[in-house]
Each structure stands twice: as structure tokens, then as C-alpha cells.
Structure 1
Amino acid sequence: MMRVVPSVPPFLPLEGVRVLDLTSSLAGPTATEILAALGADVVKIEHPGRGDEARDWGPRFFEGGSVMFFSANAGKRSLALDLKDERGRDVLLRLAERSDVVVQSLRPGTAERLGIGPDDLRARNSKLVYCTIGAFGRRGPLAADPGYDPLIQAAAGIMSVTGEPDRPPVRVGVSLVDIGTGVWAALAIVAALHEGVGRTLDLSLYETALSLLPYQIADVLAGAETPGRHGTAFPLIAPYEVFPTADGELMIVAGNDRLFASLCEVLGLPELAGDPRFGSNPLRVEHRAELVSLLRPRLAERATEELLEHLRAAGVPASPVLDLDEVARHEQTLATGMLQELAGRTIVAPPLSADGERVLHRSAPPLLGEHTAEILAEADYEAAEIDRLTAAGVVRVVQAGNEPAR
């Protein structure tokens, strides 16, 4: 008889959870996109006239806006709602009574001023998880200041340790702080839902940035010299950096004595492993400049692929430095299943599999106000009421296909 392999049920642990998403830009939308991929019904609440500012961050990528918006808002429904209008506030309050989570990233004090702060909403729904994502946190001299990813990279010291030693600091080339904050917010929300008693959660870009510098800050507070910039090198391990080859660049990671000895063998320099200057990692770090000056000429003589073949055979971790076009088409990228077709575009799926199945985004990012009417109807608004709110500009109702721009 043919053995029937049971299908794996979709991994939707948050199915049945309603999330009101009052965030914009990238950090908050990243958090709520994760929740949506895990099964939550995420209602993205946007101003009816302008929507999330990230819709305009870059060229038009799909009918609803930019590639950044597309990448951070899959799986959500859009409710276009003016929260400064008392009628819009009433809509939100009604929705909050029926929801499990609220996430907001408004300027400090704005939610409270509008009457939609944590005390206002949790008074109506005690089990509500209310998550605020701010710039610098609730307390301190910068608590009222706005913040974006590159500003926080500067303020928290990330730029001070990024770049070449003899050149100015540079911004990390990805939205590290925004996306990191989004992941932490999603984790905090899931933990609070598991607890089941309702919580007021606070996260900030600045706190996330500090968490990305744990050993550097601990070392400085213990009296160490303030870290500088080391290019591609890692200040605590050597050799652990990018080296030029005859036809490209190669990141080589010799993280212990065994790997260092293997690297030396591959390069025809076995004597370096026994050199007293390089006998341990602390000694190699101390004599990094001398070591690198001996390794570079040998590496520069050989082609990248030939070096990779021998380094891999010897067990030495190494990788060519690839650009994103190469990465997007790399067989390893394709093998992971991380690239997902969605509304005629290809999007990066969540970096998570369950029982061997990739977790995927469940629908395309919404147009502004695309789901306004159905969300209001679910909250028991009659059609005539929806028409009045629309005519008054309190809500925006859009009914259109979500097709990518060509």
C-alpha cells in the first residue's frame, strides 16, 4: 500500500489574535508583520490623507507605494482613520475593546493627548497588550526627542565603531536598529500574550542599539580604552577579516588556534603557526599588523575560487564578499525558500521554518484604506454610518486590486 504522508498544518500560533497597528516607518511595521506571519489579524491604522510615511520612501514599487513599505507590511489589512477626529477616536476605542494587542510608535505624549494611551485603552480592555515603540525610551533627557535608525546609530555609538580606522564613521548599510527593535517588540508581545494578563510594554530604538553593543559597553565601563573602527576586522580575534585575492575579496575567519594552523598550511606558511608572536589568539591580536602583512601577499596571489576550495577542504570558514544581486540569485538563497512570490513581486519571507515548512507572508501589503469598510462592519458599524464617516473624511474607503506597478 502507498504510505500517505500527512500534510504539515500551517504554523499560525497567533491565529485568532487581533492586533491594532498604529505604527509607521520600519521598526513597528516589522514587529506587526512578524505577528501577521504567525497568524495574527493585523489591522494597520493609517491617516486617511497621507497614510504611513514609508509608502513614499523611495520610488513607486507597487500600487500602494515603496519597496520599503511593501517589505514591512505584508499580511495586514489597512484601516484609513483620522485619530484626531473624535469620531475616529471612538472607532479606535471600539476596536480596542475587541482586540488583543495595540502597537503604536507615535511621538512621545501623542497617544495620551489623543486619549488612546495605555491607560485609556486598558481601562476598557484589561487584558490588552499595549506596546509602545519610541526613539529614546520613556525616561531621560532625550525621552521627548524623535529618532530614526541612522540618528540612533550615531547617538548610541554604533557609527563610532563602524568604518575604516583612518576615515570618518559610517552608517551600517542596513536598517539594523529598526529591524532589531521590531524583532524585540514582536518577542515581547508574544511573551505578554502567553502570560495572558495584559501588559504595557515599552521599547525604543536607543535601547535596542545599546543591546547591540553589549561587550563593548561592558568593557568600557570596566576601564578599557574606547573601541575604535577596524574596517572588516574584528578587534578581539585575528585573523578575522576580509583579504584581497587575485580576483576579488575573501572573508576569512580563523577563530581558534587549530583554524589558524590550517589557514597557514593552505597558504604554504606553516611556520607562522609556531611563531611565538602568533601562538595564541591574544598574541595574534597584539601582533595583528605583523600577521596581516604576512598573510596578505600570499592571499593576493591566488584566485578566490581556488582559495575557497582549499580553505573549505581544510575546514577554515571563508566566504567571498558578494553583492546583493549575487546573493539574491545564489543557490543557497534559493535553497532556503526565503524568497516568496507575492502580488507579482518577490519578497523576503520570515527567517523561520516549522516542521520543515517555511513560514510565509499570507497576503500582499494593503492599499491605503483597502479594508476600511470590512473592518468597520466587523465592529458593527452600519453601512450608513460608514458612508457618513467617509463623507466627513474620518475614514477612507478604497476598493481596488493590489497589483504591482510596472
Structure 2
Amino acid sequence: MLPDQPQTQPFRLLNGVRVLDLTTSIAAPYATMLLGDLGAEVVKVERPGAGDDARAWGPPFLEGESLWYLSVNRNKASVTLDFASDEGREVLYRLVSVADVVVTNLVPRVQAKLKVDHASLKAVRPDLIFVSLTGFGLSGARSTKSAYDLIAEGYSGVMDITGEAESPPQKVGTPAADLLAGMDAVIGALAALYDRARTRQGHVVDISMVESMTRFLTPRIVTYLGSGEVPRRTGARDSVIAIYQAFQTADDPITLGLGNNGLWRRFWEAVGVPGVGLEERFANNSDRHAQRAEIVDKIQSILRGQGREHWLALFDRAGIPAGPINRVDEIAHDPELFERGFLFKMMRDGLSIPQVGLGIQVDGAPSTPRTPPPELGQHTDQILSEWCGLDADQLQSLRAKGVV
């Protein structure tokens, strides 16, 4: 059972920063959630009646709500607004005029069509931080294309080097391109806000999912460019470090990383065969790399003799990097993650919503979220009143016309 959310103070590092979230799906909503976790006030603008695309992604659902949506939308207020209409766009521009950051994941041609591109919004708020997170960026021949995580992973090269050597290319087991691009959007927004505080100048932050995912391959790409050696799929083994891979024990698999000569020798001492660690033919990583198959067979034959917990305890005492290969259900019940306030539940009108925390501690404590993921349009009247000054009659008129 998940613990309650951390009993610490919400982060206020971005207190006073207003973020207007015009996004759907995972990547950009993840970015705006992180900004909210850091203390920004985030208003999520959604289509009346439908909302964020991710609200329909399921099963599984939690009492009718998409768990994918619930995973990336805490610390936000939800406003429904049809800004494709002239009247709705006028309201949107009033929101933009008092926002510090606008985030969109619409492709450039749709940004321009709906008049929510940088040029249009800059005319409303000259010092705006405009964050665009799309599949291929704001420029280039591919900028008109739409993309999802799967498409970006394919373009990036990560799928070609993921999986066992004899298997077909594999997608990463989490939406890696989405989450990496979301983090890049936050980095860009924070840097732009910092610069605006000094210069009073706005900025365009242009994030490409393909480039964020491709940058994740930096060591592999640079290695190829410098050597001409094309990386190949090696499964749970590193192509350079010997030994650095997964092994099967008598019950469950483990990971083992022998990244330097000292660890190599300590490992063999720990398993009771110190002579192997001292053999001249295994003296350095290059030597071990050349004889990896023989070494792997030796290690595997030893590790199959005992179960996972035996080896992890032994390696922990010896200071050897090793760990379990956890299933998601094991991670979700990890007491260490509970204790650090990383996994928790939030309550909303009696509904218990599971959450994964920010994973950043400041001054020795994690942040506690201010608000759970919102229901569609939950804060429409509140935000349009507070940010735009609309009164009850104006709100009723917009609602009657289907604008909100």
C-alpha cells in the first residue's frame, strides 16, 4: 500500500512564475508537471468536452480516469477553452498576457493556423518564454511531421541498439523520448527565465523529441564518429566495459559492473577464486574485452550456484557494484523509495491517485505536491476570473456558446 504524500513543504523555487500549458499526451505535459513541482503556477488549457488526448488512453483506468493522464498532470489547474474560435482566442490571449511561459506541442503549421505561434503570442507578451516541444523542432524539412515517442525512438537510433543481438530492434520499455524531451523543455525554460530576469528579453525554446532522444546516445554516436565502428545490439551487456552486464543466479537475475581493475580483482576474491583476478591475461579491460566469452562463462557458472539475495549481500559487503533487475511491481513496493517520499498517493474527493515523485530533494527534503491531477475543466471559472478578470455573466456567455 502506498504511503501518503510527503509531509514536507511544496517547493517554491519558481513561486510567482505562471505557466500556460497548451499541450496534450505525455512529453510536454510531463514538462509542465515538473515546472509545477518546482513551484510554478500551471494552468492547463484543454478542449471542451474532450480535454488532453491522454485522458482517453486506457485501459487501465482508475475509476474511469486514464492512469497515463494521472501520471503527468499533478500541480495544475484545468481550464476548458476552445481557442480555435475568435472569442476563445481572445480569452487565450488574455491568459497569455499574464503568463511567463507558454508551452505547446502543436507542430509549427498548426501553431500558425491557430495563431498560437511565437510571433502571435509575442505580440501579446513581448518578454514571453515560448516553449515548443514537437517531434522534429520548429525548422527543417521534417518540422511539419507529427511524431510520438515510438517514432522518435526509431529516428534516434536507440531502437537499433536495444535488445539482444539476435532479436529485432526494441523500443525502450518506457516512453523515453517523451520524458527526455520533457526534461529538456524544463531545462530550456529555466535557463530562459534566468536570462530574462537579467535582460528582460523573452526567448523561444525549441525542443525536438528526436534530438532529445538522439542526444541520449551521445557516447555511442561519438564512439562511432571517432572509430567508424557501428554499435550493435548487445542486450544487457555493455559493448566496451568487460564485465558489465546481467547474469542469471539460481533464482533471479542480477546486474554486475566490474568497471575497473580493482573491482575486477575484488570480485574474484569475493567469490573465492582470487587467482582469476590476478591472471596476467585478464590484466586490463582491453584484455578482458578480447576474452569476454570465456570470462562470462566462468562468472555465470559461479553465480548459478546461489540465489540473488546471497550474491547481492556478498557483493555489497565487498563494495562491488551489483543490483537486482526489478520488475515494476517490485519497484512499486520498494521501502527505500517510500522512505524518501518518491512513491506516494494523493487524495482527490476520496479517490486515491498513485504518483511518482519529482526525484529531486532540496535542502534535505522532497517536495510535496500542492494539488492532484485535475478533472477536466475543474478550474475554468476560477482561473478565468483570477487571471483574466471575467465575471460570472461573461463566463456564462462563453459557456453558452461552447467556448469554455
- TM surpasses 0.5: yes
Alignment partner of 2:345: what SS? strand
1:391 aligns with 2:400: yes
Q: 2:375 aligns with which of 360, 367, 370?
A: 367
1:298 equivalent in alignment to 2:302:
yes
Q: Which residue of 1 aligns with 2:151?
A: 151
- State yes or no: 1:179 paired with 2:188: no
**1:228 matches 2:232:** yes
Q: Please report how far the alpha carbon of residue 380 of structure 1 lies from its aligned counterpart in structure 2 after TM superposition.
A: 1.4
Provide the alpha-carbon RMSD of the alignment.
1.6
| Contact 2:162-2:235 within 8 A present in 1 as well | yes
| Alignment pair present for 1:331 and 2:335 | yes
Work out whether residues 20 and 102 of structure 1, in 8 Å CA contact, stay in contact via their aligned partners in 2: yes
Structure 2 gap ranges (5+): 1-6
Listed one character per residue, the Cα deviations across residues 288-331 of structure 1 (whole Å, up to 9, x for unaligned) are: 11211121111111222221222111111111212121122122
8 Å Cα contact 2:10/2:37 also seen in 1 = no
Determine the C-alpha separation between the residues in 2 that align with 1:64 and 1:32.
Answer: 23
Q: Find the counterpart in structure 2 of residue 133 from structure 1.
A: 133
2:332 alignment partner, SS class:
helix
Question: Deviations 1:195-251 (Å, cap 9, x if unpaired)?
Answer: 112111100101101110112111222242210111101111111111111111111
SS at match of 1:222: helix
- Counterpart-to-counterpart distance in 2, 1:194 and 1:40: 14
Secondary structure in 2 aligned to 1:388? helix
Task: Give 1:7-406 correspondences, 5 Å limit.
Answer: 10-59=10-59, 61-62=61-62, 65-196=65-196, 197-343=201-347, 344-378=352-386, 379-395=388-404
Contact 1:64-1:367 within 8 A present in 2 as well: no
Q: Tell me: CA distance 1:296–1:23, structure 2 relative to 1, closer, same or farther (3 Å).
A: same
Write the distance in 1 (CA, Å) between the matches of 2:315 and 2:289.
21
1:156/1:206 contact within 8 Å kept: yes
After TM superposition, the score normalised by the length of structure 1 is 0.92
Evaluate the alpha carbon distance shift between residue 323 and residue 118 of structure 1 in structure 2; reply closer, same or farther with a 3 A threshold. Answer: same
- Give the Å deviation of 1:284: 1.2
Give the distance between the partners of 1:285 and 1:293, measured in 2 at CA. Answer: 13
Query: Is contact 1:161–1:169 with CA below 8 Å preserved after alignment?
Result: yes
- The alpha-carbon distance between structure 1 residues 260 and 300, as it changes in their structure 2 partners (threshold 3 A), is same
Q: 1:46 to 1:171 in 2, by over 3 A?
A: same
Residue 10 of structure 1 and its aligned partner are, at CA, apart by: 4.5
Q: Distance in 1 between the 2:283 and 2:141 partners?
A: 48
- Separation (CA, whole Å) in 2 of partners of 1:258 and 1:90: 66
Classify the secondary structure of the residue corresponding to 1:373.
helix
* CA–CA distance in structure 2, aligned partners of residues 91 and 283 of structure 1: 67
**Aligned equivalents of 1:392, 1:125: Cα separation in 2:** 27
**8 Å CA contact 1:340, 1:346 repeated in 2:** yes
Please tell me the residue identity of whatever aligns with 2:377. G
Offset of residue 142 of structure 1: 1.9
Contact 2:136/2:209, CA 8 A, preserved across alignment:
yes
Q: 1:134 and 1:83 mapped to 2: Cα distance?
A: 20
Deviation at 1:170? 0.8
1:99-144 C-alpha deviation (Å, 9 max, x unpaired):
1110000123111111121111112211110100010122333221
How many residue pairs get matched? Answer: 389
Separation in structure 2 between the aligned mates of residue 271 and residue 244 of structure 1, nearest angstrom: 23
Structure 1 residue 360 displacement after superposition? 2.2
- 2:295 is aligned with what amino acid? L
Whichever residue aligns with residue 117 of structure 2, its letter is: G
Change (3 A) 1:26 1:289: same
Q: Distance in 2 between matches of 1:132 and 1:184?
A: 11
Measured after TM superposition, the shift of residue 389 of structure 1 is 1.0
Amino acid at match of 1:293: D
1:383 counterpart letter in structure 2: A
Contact 1:341/1:347 (8 A) holds in 2: yes
Asked whether the 8 Å contact 1:60–1:66 carries over to 2, the reply is yes
Say if 1:219 and 1:57 are closer, same or farther in 2 by CA, change over 3 A.
Answer: same
C-alpha distance in structure 2 between counterparts of 1:107 and 1:374, whole Å: 30
Please give the alpha-carbon distance, in whole angstroms, between the structure 2 residues aligned to 1:234 and 1:216. Answer: 11
Same amino acid, percent of matched pairs: 37
Q: Which residue of 2 aligns with 1:399?
A: none
Structure 1 unaligned blocks of 5 or more: 1-6, 396-406
TM-score of the pair, normalised by structure 2: 0.93
Residue identity matched to 2:92: L
- Equivalent-residue separation in structure 2 for 1:81 and 1:326 (angstroms): 41
